[in-house]
């Protein structure tokens, strides 16, 4: 069998232990992982796979193709496609092993629920200290969507789409089923049921700021998203830019169902006296209060506001009610934690 590592490469035979049934049991006992499940002929060291995983954390656009070529250069072997496939299969199995080990550890510690993770994601935000002065907001988050991580719909080119049976294994992601529970929450004036672009009749046009924002317009103006299977992601972050929850935006812009599903999960985990910053918080507050979670939003005193940066583009009447500068307890909150995360996503391109 051929054993690959950084920088060594050799052929050897391992003596199997009596309790080992399959070759990979013996390989992983010696610190290697085969590229096939049953009868592997090539094995990668766990150290090599771990180094590549950490390299991806430090440099997200460092691809597995580059890692395979680097190993080929180190071992003086011409790069071929089948070598990449061997590394890819071994790395996928390596990640699955790490995931299952982590799941068992979390289950043994009773830390395997979404609510537990949300309450312990950021100690500075969500841990309480006894005898400490109570602040106006017990928790403060920001929500926003981003269209950088698009995925083209193969049907737009007339090709047969390939079925993707992969599901998110992380508690960070809300499933499409969880999001679609809020699909028809908004009863708008237009024929589309899922938007919040409704101008107030008692406010003159010069004081209405909703139509200045693309993500507050009717979905009829967002038809370009139909060419994408996934048009981006919608996330929420804490005050210190830790990602709390995320969901995929499917063939649409920032529809109301995405923030509603996220707010619903956050209220269940964090409880009362929260603050939520959103670029169109002024419009979304009415949507949330009139939705199925409206009674909970009001009972738990969830306060909506607009971001400090985008807030200055809203009219003066709107700023007096929704800008953090005029809301007691908001302090120097900028409400742009999501933008910091989206900036890091550029490394994935």
Residue 208's contacts (CB-CB under 8 Å, 6 or more residues apart) are 199, 200, 315
Is residue 247 within 8 Å of 258, Cβ to Cβ? yes
* pLDDT band at residue 52 using 50, 70 and 90 as cut-offs: very high
Tell me how far CA of residue 316 lies from CA of 168, 208, 312, 313, in angstroms: 43, 10, 8, 9
pLDDT 10s digits, 260-318:
999 999 999 999 999 999 988 888 998 899 899 999 999 999 999 998 887 778 888 88
pLDDT tens-digit readout, 207-233: 456 555 555 555 544 556 667 778 888
- Whether pTM > 0.85 for this model: the answer is no
Identify the band that residue 1 occupies on the pLDDT scale cut at 50, 70 and 90: low
Q: What is the rounded distance in angstroms from the CA atom of residue 283 to the CA atom of residue 296?
A: 18
Q: Whose CA is closest to 335, among 239, 246, 211, 259? A: 239
Cα distance between residue 88 and residue 249, in whole Å: 28
Alpha-carbon distance of 154 to 254, in angstroms, equals 22
Report DSSP state, residue 135: P
Cβ contact 263:293 at 8 Å: yes
Taking residues 146-171, what's their average pLDDT? Answer: 74
Q: Is the pLDDT of residue 244 over 80?
A: yes
Quickly tell me which residue has 């499409």 as its tokens.
176
What is the DSSP code (8-state) at residue 314?
S
pLDDT band per the 50, 70, 90 thresholds, residue 150: confident
DSSP 21: -
Is the pLDDT at 235 greater than 90? The verdict is: yes
Q: Are 179 and 247 in contact (CB under 8 A)?
A: yes
Sheet holding 42-45, edge to edge: 9-11, 2-4, 42-45, 32-34
Residue-level pLDDT at 206: 44
Residue with tokens 């209405």: 208
Q: Grade residue 334 by pLDDT with cuts at 50, 70 and 90.
A: confident
- DSSP secondary structure string for all residues of 41-110: SEEEEHHHHHHHHHHHHH-TT--HHHHHHHHHHHHT----HHHHHHHHHHHHHHHHHHHHHHHHHHHHTT
Please name which of 68, 92, 88 lies closest in space to residue 80, comparing C-alpha atoms.
68
> First-to-last CA distance in the chain?
37
Phi-psi sector, 225: left (phi>0), alpha (psi -120 to 50), beta = alpha
């Amino acid at each position: 069998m051929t054993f690959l590592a950084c920088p060594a490469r050799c052929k050897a035979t391992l003596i199997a232990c009596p309790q080992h049934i399959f070759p990979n049991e013996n390989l992983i006992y010696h610190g290697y992982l085969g590229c096939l499940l049953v009868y592997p002929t090539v094995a990668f060291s766990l150290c090599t796979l771990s180094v590549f995983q950490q390299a991806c954390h430090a440099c997200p656009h460092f691809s597995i193709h580059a890692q395979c070529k680097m190993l080929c250069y180190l071992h003086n072997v011409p790069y071929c496609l089948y070598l990449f496939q061997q590394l890819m299969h071994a790395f996928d199995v390596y990640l699955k092993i790490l995931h299952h080990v982590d799941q068992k550890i979390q289950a043994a510690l009773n830390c395997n629920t979404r609510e537990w993770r949300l309450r312990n994601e950021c100690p500075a935000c969500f841990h309480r200290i006894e005898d400490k002065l109570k602040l106006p907001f017990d928790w403060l988050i920001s929500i926003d969507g981003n269209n950088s991580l698009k995925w083209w719909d193969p049907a737009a080119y007339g090709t047969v789409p390939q079925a993707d049976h992969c599901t998110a294994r992380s508690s960070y992601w809300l499933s499409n089923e969880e999001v679609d529970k809020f699909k028809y929450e908004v009863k708008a004036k237009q024929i589309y049921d899922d938007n919040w672009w409704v101008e107030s009749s008692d406010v003159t046009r010069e004081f209405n700021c909703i139509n200045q924002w693309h993500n507050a317009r009717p979905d009829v103006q967002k038809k370009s998203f139909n060419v994408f299977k996934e048009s981006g992601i919608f996330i929420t972050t804490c005050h210190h830019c830790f990602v709390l929850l995320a969901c995929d935006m499917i063939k649409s812009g920032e529809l109301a169902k995405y923030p509603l599903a996220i707010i619903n999960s956050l209220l269940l985990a964090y409880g009362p006296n929260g603050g939520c910053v959103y670029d169109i918080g002024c419009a979304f507050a009415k949507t949330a209060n009139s939705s199925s979670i409206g009674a909970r939003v009001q009972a738990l005193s969830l306060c909506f506001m607009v971001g400090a940066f985008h807030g200055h583009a809203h009219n003066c009447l709107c700023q007096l009610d929704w800008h953090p500068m005029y809301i007691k307890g908001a302090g120097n909150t900028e409400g742009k934690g999501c933008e910091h995360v989206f900036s890091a996503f550029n490394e994935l391109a």
